[in-house]
Amino acid sequence: MTTHQALIIDQFTQQAIPFTQVPAHSNAESLHLLSQMANLTDEDDVLDVACGSGIVACAFAPMVHHVTGIDLTPAMLEQAQIMARQSGSTNLTWQQGDIEALPFADASFSLVLSRYAFHHFLHPEAVLAEMIRVCRPQGRILIADVVLPPEKVEAYNELEKLRDPSHTCALTLEAFQALFSQTELHTIRLAFYKVEIPLEQQLAASFPKPGDKERIRQLVHDDLGIDRFGISANLQNDEVWYEIPISIIVAEK
């Protein structure tokens, strides 16, 4: 196991329950947009890469033939199993494993997706290559993640690494498009939305180093009306909220 993988497991073992309980992560409108962009059918075999606590997998399960979720962190998969039981869906399978070496045969799935995970990957091009490998011809690849303007990326990365030390780098839309352009994928489609979260709610679900929560609070408060981080920090009834810009990128194999 690499040092970075150990860091991810440490962070998401702590985050597993609170991450799942953040309402914005299960927002029905964004999940509906995701399903629309995926063009789901009842014949689809879906792979959710870095599935976390199974939010997307469980949302898609009633609309497809089968969903497999794979994640590095056992504690997140435990939450996924709980969510699956609560949903009543029986067409779900969970697997712990390395997403840079997916334990599946070539062309195993008609849809391969990943949500809110690419900013944790040291080698996003390797993950995308594996997603493509296990995708069937004429299948779809879908990625949804934070995407920022080039001039905001460096400041955002500094802030996010304070909140979650397993963060690596947010990508720009141009960087994502460059990743896709180096592959056999084609017919790229895009959609956009924002995840709106109260700062204190997000911090309650986060496990930064001692003292860094207060530092994050100060940085975000100081960014009100400035938006150096690209998260549009704002006040709602004297409570600080911020907005994470998400891009959905879909392509065909």
In 3D space, the residue among 92, 93, 82 whose CA is nearest the CA of residue 17 turns out to be: 82
pTM passes above 0.85: yes
pLDDT number for residue 1: 81
- Classified as helix, coil or strand, 205 is coil
Contact 215, 222 (CB under 8 A): no
Give the residues across from 95 on adjacent strands: 70
Note whether residue 240 is domain-resident. no
Note whether residue 8 is domain-resident. yes
Q: Residue 230, by phi and psi: left (phi above 0), alpha (psi -120 to 50) or beta?
A: left
Contact 216, 240 (CB under 8 A): no
Sequence-distant contacts of 78-81: CB under 8 A, at least 24 apart: 78/16, 79/16, 79/17, 79/20, 79/52, 79/53, 79/54, 80/51, 80/52, 80/53, 80/54, 81/54
Estimate to the nearest angstrom the gap between the alpha carbon of 212 and the chain centroid: 23
Query: What's the length of the chain?
Result: 253
- Classified as helix, coil or strand, 222 is helix
Strands (E), the chain: 45-49, 66-71, 92-96, 109-115, 135-146, 186-198, 234-236, 239-252
Whole-number Å distance between alpha carbons of 83 and 52: 11
Note whether residue 221 is domain-resident. no
Low-confidence ranges of the chain (pLDDT < 50): none
Task: Please state, in angstroms and as integers, the Cα–Cα distance from residue 80 to each residue in 58, 71, 117, 217, 237, following that order.
Answer: 8, 10, 16, 30, 34
Q: Report how many domains make up the chain.
A: 1
Note whether residue 229 is domain-resident. no
Note whether residue 56 is domain-resident. yes
Note whether residue 123 is domain-resident. yes
Note whether residue 108 is domain-resident. yes
Q: For residue 231, what are its two tokens?
A: 């998260």
pLDDT number for residue 52: 97
CATH number of the domain that 93 lies in?
Answer: 3.40.50.150
Domain holding 87, by residue range, is 3-195+245-252
Note whether residue 84 is domain-resident. yes
